[in-house]
Structure formats: C-alpha cells, structure tokens
A and B are shown apart, each in its own frame.
Chain A
Amino acid sequence: MKRLYFLYALLGCLLAAPLSALPAAAAEEVIISGSTTVLPVMQKAGEAFMAANPGIFLAISGGGSGSGIKALNEGLCQIAMSSRDIKSSEADEGKAKGVNAVRTPIAVDALLPVVHKDNPVKNLSMDQLRDIYAGKISNWKDVGGKDGNIVVISRDSSSGTYETWNELIMRKEKVAASALLQASNGAVAQAVSKNPRAIGYIGFGYMNDSLKKINVDGVEATALTALSKTWPIARELYVFTNGAPSGAVKRLIDYLLDPQKGQKNVAEAGFIPLPKK
C-alpha cells in the first residue's frame, strides 16, 4: 500500500508543478492570427511590447491572410494580420455578423522570387517567371542557368502571398500541379535554401544568406524600389480590427505604428517601414 501512496503523491506533485505556473489573475488578452508574412513583424514587436506592457497577454498564430480575416469575422481573434486587402465578400460576411473590419497598414513588403545561392541565374522577366510556375519552362538552361529540372515551390494556401503572386505574376495561368506546396514563407525559404534547383517566392523579411533574390525585368528588389513601386510585386501589410482599435488592441497598434518602436521592429524583422508622412 505504501508504494501506492507514493505513486499518488508523485502524481499530485506532477500536477501541482505546472498549475503553479498559472498566473493568479488572467491578464488582458489579445489574440492575433493570420498572414505568415506579417508573423515575424508581429512576433518581434510582441516581444518588445510585452516587456513594456506585462499586463497584456498576446497569442500569435499564423495560418494565412484569409483565415485571419475569417477568424476576425468569427470573433476568434481581435487582430487579423493580412498581406492583402480585405475582399468585398469577406467584408460583407463580417457585416452580417456585426463585425466591421478596419484596416491599418503597418509595413511595406516586396515579394521576392528566390533561388539557391549557388544558382547562376540573376534575372528573369515577368513572363519567364509565369512560364516557370505554369510548368511551361522546366529546365534552368532555358533561362540561362545550368542544365537541370526546375523545382517549383509555391504556397498552397489562402495566403495573401499566394494571391498576390497569382494576381501579379500568374494572371490567368494556373500554377503547375507538380509544384511543391509549402504552408508558410519560412518553409518555402527553407526548401529553396536546401535545393540548388529550386525556385520559390517569399516575403522581404524572409530573405537570408542561403538564398539569392532574382531581379525581375532588370529591377532589383530593395526598400527604395518597393516604396517607389518600381518593383513590380510590392504590397502593403495590414492589420485588421473590429471597429476602430481600442484598449489593449489600440495600445499594440499604436506601438506598431510608432516610428521609434514598432517601425524599428519592422525593419529588424527584415521588412520595409512605412514611408514617413
């Protein structure tokens, strides 16, 4: 019997340990969900924001712009991150549920076509990009590279990144079925960095040393070309809230827009801060 009591005691201790980690009173909570492009910005800002506002609890999850806006409409989150504007169908759906989505731009992003750092290709035209993604060009030597199959990596989601790519590059063409589909910007970056034959597209902040960005029609993607819209695939990143932000949500958004605070985090995360007014 003694052994039994020991076991009970052990079980009790195991249970008590994590429970003691629960704070006595629940903090004010902000749930943030949506675009994986905006995710690193929000995470960086969130870490700094938390240090200044320990009374506010932030929970951040990815998923994609579409699911973030949908979650906002369902009341499952207070802030939706999005790398595209809200669609009229989404806005109508929100209104039917009493949700009035209000848009706030927080950063500028340039969508980057990227290849492995050892790939000699430097420049592609918009048409070449489209043909590669549609499966019409399937060998690197057709676009000035080494002989070898092009491994096309795309996004599979309701992500704004995919929709922007679809709209600006693919136009009416379909992405080939043989494309490897990845669920996030990070996964695309990872897959391309591991594969000398791959091509992918990512948000500006996901660029790193193991990747090489491709110039499009001779234009190099930089903060300047993105802000001046010379870079053909630039866009704004947004957060959406239900009505004008208030309370903890407002404090977070004010923080994000502050040139000395949140906008610095935007740059640290690798994205382009909003142009100064």
Chain B
Amino acid sequence: MTPGSARKEQIIRLMLAGVAGCSLLFLALIMVFLFMEGLPVFRQLPVTDFLFGMEWRPTAEYPEFGIFPLIAGSAAVTLVASSLAIPLGVMTAVWLTEIAPSTLRRIFKPVIELLAALPSVVVGFFGMAVVAPRTQTFFDLDTGLNLFNAGLMLAFMSVPTICSVAEDALHSVPVSLREASLALGATRWETIIRVVIPAAFSGIGTACMLGMSRSIGETMVVLMVAGGAGIIPSSLFDPIRPMPAAIAAEIAEAPFRGEHYHALFAIGMVLFLFTLAFNLVARRITEKNRLTLN
C-alpha cells in the first residue's frame, strides 16, 4: 500500500465516522431542543406543580399546567394495553418457536411483521369508526372513545413488537438445553415452562419493556380513540387524555413560544424521558443476559 492511499483510507474512515456520528448528533439535538423549549415553563411554575398538579387548563384565563391526569392517562392506557399484549405476544412467540410446524411459522412470521407495519392512523381510524360505536352500544356506555378502546388498539399495535423480540430470545435458547430436559423425562410442556422460558426470561423482559415503550409513546391511536378528557380514570370505560394525545391535539393550537407551547414541550420531555428509561432498562436486561450466557 502506498502512503498516499493509506492517507486516503484514513480520510474515508474519518468521513464515515462523521456520518455515523450524525445519529448521536440528532439525538443530542432532539434533547437540546426539547429541553430548550420545555424548560422555560418552569420559570413561573415549580416542577412539582407541573408533574403533580391535578388540573390541565392551558387555555383558561388563569391557565393551569398540572399534567398528573395526563401521566395517569398514559400509565392507565399502557397498563391496559400491556396486560392484553404481553400475554398474547409472549404466548404467540412460544407457539411460534416451540410448537408451530414450520409451514405455519413461515406464514405467520410475515403476518406478525405486517401487523407491526400497520400505520397507526389506520388503527386509530379503525378504533374510531368500528370499535367505538360498537362498544358504546354493546356495553351501553357514555362514550365509546375511552380507556378500554384505546388500550385495545394499543395492544393490537404492540403485540408484534413483543412477539418478534420474544421470539428472537426464545430462538437463541440452545437446542441442547431442550434436549437435556426432554432426555431427563420432562414433557414438552414442562420443558417450555421450566427450561426454555426461564432461559429466555431476560429477552422476554426486554420484549415487554419495548412493547410498553411503544404503547406509551404511540400518538395517533390515543389521539383518535381515547376520548380526550383530562381526568384520572376511575373505571375501564372512562375517557382519558394521555400525554401524546395532549401534545398532538394542542401543539397546532398553542401560540408559538407561548407558555402553553413550552408546557407541551415539557410534556414531550417527560414522554421522552419515560421512553428513554424504558429503552435503557430493556437494553440493560439484554446486556446482562449476554454476560450470563457467555
């Protein structure tokens, strides 16, 4: 290799590193701008009043910016969605890896991937046009746009995430473990419950965290079907106003760089921190898992 081409290689390497750094830069920019636009709201408002305030009245004459009902809405809808999606997703993953014949598996995998690719606005539209009127008349509710409907739609959207990540985890459990268990006389069911799932437990944990992170950050579905009332839900059929819905519904109407605008960015900050925490925990679990397996 000539010295000239060595230098050329060096330059190429540096340029590529620069491009790769873009992702970091973008993430940093997102954080900087989110905080830059969100923090000014705390000039007049203590952080605790913001996080634990019970009233969200951004456009009142004396506006109040308490986002606790919104956080509660997000938490409730994530809980409902997860309690449906986690069992469904994990069980489907177990079925796919352990039981399904390979032909069925080959059909099912793309179906799950397709489910993951469904645009959220289509799911939201479905919830609004099909599910809401039917649940409203079926259960004789005040409104079909509520926690239950939103949770159901979100579960529908997070099952594929949970299923495919959990499936990867189950897949990476060595065959020798299963064979050893079966050789010791365990049934297939016992092998799955006692051996395979515990071995893949951290991966399944990651799957659940990612699924929940998807539910908490999903916007269009909660915007269209959650109802939009800023209250702490007391029943499964109460309308709620989760954080992403509040942002999406109000940002177009909040005067630029006004107090309401800053408050919405502050909600964005909270949302960002929530999902960041979920993702970091999910990653932590995977890394720990890698260490123990090695």
Given A71-B256, A74-B256, A157-B253: A191 and B145 interface contact (C-beta under 8 Å):
yes
Q: Count of chain A residues with Cβ under 8 Å from any Cβ of B?
A: 32
Q: Count of chain B residues with Cβ under 8 Å from any Cβ of A?
A: 29
- Cβ-based interface call for A102 (8 A): no
Min distance, Cβ A272 to any Cβ of chain B, angstroms? 25
Contacts of A159 in B (CB 8 A): 253
- Cβ-based interface call for A250 (8 A): no
Beta-carbon contacts under 8 Å, B232-260 to A: 239, 241, 249-250, 252-256, 258, 260
- Cβ-based interface call for A79 (8 A): no
Contacts of B55 in A (CB 8 A): 177
- Cβ-based interface call for B172 (8 A): no
* Total A-B residue contacts, Cβ distance less than 8 Å: 82
- Cβ-based interface call for A234 (8 A): no
Of B40-48, B105-113, B157-165, B222-230, the one contacting chain A is B222-230
Min distance, Cβ A163 to any Cβ of chain B, angstroms? 8
Q: In whole angstroms, how far apart are the Cα atoms of A60 and B255 in the complex? A: 17
Of A13-21, A61-69, A241-249, A251-259, the one contacting chain B is A61-69
Contacts of A95 in B (CB 8 A): none
- Cβ-based interface call for A179 (8 A): yes
Q: In whole angstroms, how far apart are the Cα atoms of A191 and B249 in the complex? A: 16
- Cβ-based interface call for B69 (8 A): yes
Beta-carbon contacts under 8 Å, A138-194 to B: 149, 151, 156-159, 162-163, 174, 177-183, 191, 194
Q: In whole angstroms, how far apart are the Cα atoms of A162 and B57 in the complex? A: 12
- Cβ-based interface call for B289 (8 A): no
Contact B142 A66 (CB under 8 A): no
Of the candidates B143, B250, B260, which one forms a contact with A151 in the assembled complex, judged by CB atoms under 8 Å apart? B143
Closest B residue to A162 using CB positions: B59
Given A70-B256, A156-B249: A194 and B142 interface contact (C-beta under 8 Å):
no
* Listed A/B pairs (15) with beta-carbon separation below 8 Å: A66-B59, A70-B255, A74-B256, A151-B142, A158-B253, A158-B254, A177-B229, A177-B231, A178-B231, A180-B145, A180-B227, A180-B229, A183-B253, A194-B136, A195-B143
Residues of B in contact with A (beta carbons under 8 Å apart): 55-57, 59-60, 69, 132-133, 136, 142-145, 227-231, 239, 241, 249-250, 252-256, 258, 260
